[in-house]
Amino acid sequence: MKIALLCVFLLPGNKASATDDVDESNPSQELQSEAAEEASQAVPTALEKLLETLEYRGNVSLELTGFLASADHVADQSFSSSLSGEVELYFPLSSGNSSIVATPFARLDQHDAERTHFDFREFLYQRNSDNWEFRIGLGKIFWGVAESRNPVDIINQRDAVEGFTVDEKLGQPLLQFSWFKDLGSIDFFVLPGFREQTFAGVDGRPRFSTPISQNALYESDSEDRHIDFALRYSTAIEEWDLGFSAFRGTARDPLLLPIFGTSFTDVSLQPFYYQISQIGFDAQATLESWLLKFEWIHQQADVIANHTESVIGFEYSFFGIAESDADLGVIAEYLHDNRGEASTQPFQNDLLVGFRLALNDEASTEALLGSFIDLDTDAIIVTLEANRRIGNSFKVSLEAVSYLNTANDPGLNQLRNEDYLQAEIAWFF
Amino acid sequence: MGLNMPIFNDQRRKLLTLLLAAPALFAIAPAYAQSAEEKGLEIAKEMDRRNEGFVDTTSNMKMILRNRAGKESLREMRSMVLEVQGDGDKSLTVFNQPKDVKGTASLTFSHATTADEQWLYLPALKRVKRISSKNKSGPFMGSEFAFEDISSQEVDKYTYKFLREEDLDGRATFVIESVPTYSNSGYTRLINWVDKNEYYPVKTEFYDRKNSLLKTLEQKGYQQYLGKYWRASEMFMQNQQTGKSTTLLWEDFKFQTGLSEKDFNSKALTRFR
């Protein structure tokens, strides 16, 4: 979308034109204004060009959250509100094959100082030709096929403070070179710099009852300046979409180490980021109504056991159910970690069962009901998400999350009183 | 785990071809007795032949959805299509309206005999998702156009039967019935009115699975490009059962813009604006 109108107000060139009104009886003032006009001419044309070609899209969103029980921790508010905004600014550059994209994001949270945050999701210079693409800056990359969890997706850190059901990510410093042919594409990444995972602060909900320290530890002496490398080959062969990946560098998910303060009950968790080498594989077969999905990684590290993590599952769609326009998708995925109980991530032997309903109406009404079931502890996380569009620019969403049967699951048991109901209204532009 | 958008696909010229073709029967009665089926097929092949060689097109499309009460909502998208000889076309489409799906794009490799291949790009997640192309009869973005109405049209997707010649509002037309041969169609048959001189479709009736009249499509504002290819600038689809309707407006048709296979892969999908 062009924003020529905006330029009228922003451009120095237009300011200069205001000097036409200058009193002609004052020659020095006139001279000054002429000089100003001349000087401003060069700048405005460049800026004008840039602004005229600017494309943007974004949203502003108000989120209201209600908690159904009192918390086990100090942040025992039963209600919370939050405002967020994001805009993607896209500037095509003169050659047509290069561009700059910047996507600032900001959130204000009523209670949680950690959730009140700003980030550039992207700030990239990119250049491409028919067979290659080069990008440098802050970027966001997605790898994987599964719905429940994407073990192969390693480039970006998660912006976990954004919520359990969203896959928000922090902009990752990167240098990417991609080369693609009919046989598929190869992406090579140098990742100079590391982003720590965000966590809810002491005043935030939902969160674990044990607070998480904001002071992280690192295995590498370079800490968050460690340079990581990643490589991926992806291709589509008939009904198969395949990806092979490798990564060497800092693990995105930290170990959380208990640290004790002055008393035995004064305990918090300190994130510890360790070094890993990882290879990954992801595949999806698209067979009529069936989507068959598989993700697998093997990870090696000095500080934790070498292990594999995997997700295998399907989504089956019933189209036009009950002679309506609506589609119903049934999702089932099994999540495994061969370390079992010793796993450092929560989905070691879990099942996701989900139902996705799309009414395919004018408002694009959709709902997704999902349950993660831990097959070792029987703990269950139930999520319900639903949304529909209002008019051409608004969207309302509802979300509910409940933690059930957590007694045998020490980790999830910390969330047993954190069930919540959330409503969101977003304006898109 | 995030919600997806509804699956969608689209193709531009397909809308056209969709409506089948009709060829012309060089009006004079053939010397031998041609069956209605042979004559119908001949017309379809002639329509297809007349659309061959367009190489590629780009265009903008506006969709105005109207519910029974007359309340309107808008869809706006841009697309490009690459003709593939001997197979279905390749196409890229990106949404501009409604705003919440702005930047969402789809890539489709359509095929004459096997299932179409289709990918969706979700810009908020930077995620490219392969999606099922089985859903032929579902509505495209909540409109009165079904996916099968706007997918790449191939002669082999239907069997044909010539019904009659008819004067339609002063225009000489062939009237042809076509029956989908692919599975999962929402239609038992289509009746097409095809311009007798230029072989483009001007009106189509769609009959549902119970063989009741479901929708009527009118195509207007035909313009000729490159001295050869006819494209409608307005398509009006009226649902006869629900009273809802959708108007499709095409703008900015460009032909032979120099696109190639390299503009139709998953990288191009993430860049398309």
| Region for residue B53 given its phi and psi (left: phi exceeds 0; alpha: psi -120 to 50; beta: otherwise) | left
Question: Does residue B159 lie within any of the structural domains?
Answer: yes
Number of domains in chain B: 1
Q: Which CATH architecture has domain A54-428?
A: Beta Barrel (2.40)
Most trustworthy range by pLDDT among A39-53, A113-127, A160-174, B151-165: A113-127
Whether B4 is covered by a domain: the verdict is no
Write out pLDDT tens, residues A287-311: 999 999 999 999 999 999 999 999 9
pLDDT at A62 > cutoff 50: yes
Q: Which residues of chain B lie closer than 8 angstroms to A145, CB-CB?
A: 130
CA distance A77 to A411: 22
Mean pLDDT of A274-296: 97
Strand A420-428 versus strand B56-66 pairing type: unpaired
Is B19 a member of any domain? no
CB contact under 8 A, B74 and A392: yes
Identify the pLDDT of residue A27. 47
Contact B132 A391 (CB under 8 A): no
Q: What is the mean pLDDT of chain A?
A: 89
Residues 6 or more apart whose CB falls under 8 angstroms from that of B175 comprise B162, B163, B164, B165, B166, B191, B192, B193, B194
A57 with B103: Cβ contact below 8 A: yes
Confidence (pLDDT) at A41:
56
> At residue A239, does pLDDT exceed 60?
yes
Whether residue B70 is contained in a domain is answered as yes
State pLDDT tens for residues B62-113: 999 999 998 999 999 999 999 998 788 999 999 999 999 999 999 999 887 7
Phi, psi of A422 (to 5 degrees): -130, 135
Say if residue A416's pLDDT is above 80.
yes
Q: Give the model's confidence band at A21: pLDDT under 50 very low, under 70 low, under 90 confident, else very high.
A: very low
Is any Cβ of chain A less than 8 angstroms from the Cβ of B127? yes
pLDDT of residue A166: 74
Instruction: Give pLDDT, residue B140.
Output: 92
| Domain-located, residue B210 | yes
- For residue B1, being part of any structural domain is answered with no
Do A334 and A146 touch, CB atoms closer than 8 A? no
Output the pLDDT for position B11: 40
> Which of B50, B54, B55 lies closest to B199, judged by CA?
B50
Q: Mark yes or no for CB contact A391/B73 under 8 Å.
A: yes
Distance, in Å, from the CA atom of B122 to the CA atom of A32, rounded to the nearest integer, reads 52
B98 touches chain A (CB under 8 A): yes
Distance between alpha carbon B265 and the CA centroid of its chain, in Å? 22
Per-10-residue mean pLDDT of chain B, 273 residues long, equals 35 39 41 82 93 92 94 94 88 94 94 86 94 90 92 86 94 95 91 95 96 96 93 96 96 93 90 87
Nearest-CA distance B166 → chain A (Å): 34
CA distance, residue A365 to nearest chain B CA (Å): 9
Question: Would you state the pLDDT for residue B77?
Answer: 95
Nearest CA in chain B to A352: B1
Q: What residues form DSSP beta bridges with A331?
A: A315, A354
What range does the domain containing B231 cover?
35-271
ipTM: 0.86
Q: Is A193 left (phi over 0), alpha (psi -120 to 50) or beta?
A: left
Residues of A in contact with B134 (CB under 8 A): 288-289, 317, 319
**CB distance A57–B127 less than 8 Å?**
no
Q: What percent of chain A has pLDDT over 90?
A: 74
Q: Token digits for A43?
A: 């700048």
Q: Rounded to a whole number, what is the distance in angstroms from the first to the last CA of chain A?
A: 10
* Contacts of range B224-227, beta carbons closer than 8 Å, 24 or more positions apart: B225/B253, B225/B255, B226/B54, B226/B255, B226/B256
Q: What number is the average pLDDT over the span A400-417?
A: 93
Decide if pLDDT at A65 tops 70: yes
Is B21 inside any structural domain? no
As a whole number, mean pLDDT of residues A218-242 equals 96
Chain B residue with Cα closest to A363? B142
Which residues of chain A does B115 touch, with a Cβ-Cβ cutoff of 8 Å? 239, 288
Q: How far is B196 from chain A (nearest CA, A)?
A: 36
Pairwise CB contact (< 8 Å): A361 & B142:
yes
CA distance A305 to A348: 14
Number of Cβ pairs < 8 A linking chain A and chain B: 128
Report the CATH number that the domain containing residue B231 is assigned in CATH.
2.50.20.10
Beta pairing partners, B61: B77, B250
The model's confidence at residue A2, banded by pLDDT at 50, 70 and 90, is very low
Q: Of A239, A385, A389, which is closest to B3 when you measure between CB atoms?
A: A385
Render pLDDT for A306-353 as a digit per residue (tens, 0 to 9). 999 999 999 999 999 988 999 999 999 999 999 998 898 889 999 999
Q: CA of A16 to nearest chain B CA: how many angstroms apart?
A: 34
Which element (helix H / strand E) includes B220? Answer: strand B213-220
pLDDT at B56: 94
Rg (CA), chain B: 18
- Residue B51 within a domain: yes
Domains of chain A, by residue range, sit at 1-53, 54-428
Q: Is B125 on the interface with A (CB under 8 A)?
A: yes
Is B6 touching A (CB cutoff 8 A)?
A: yes
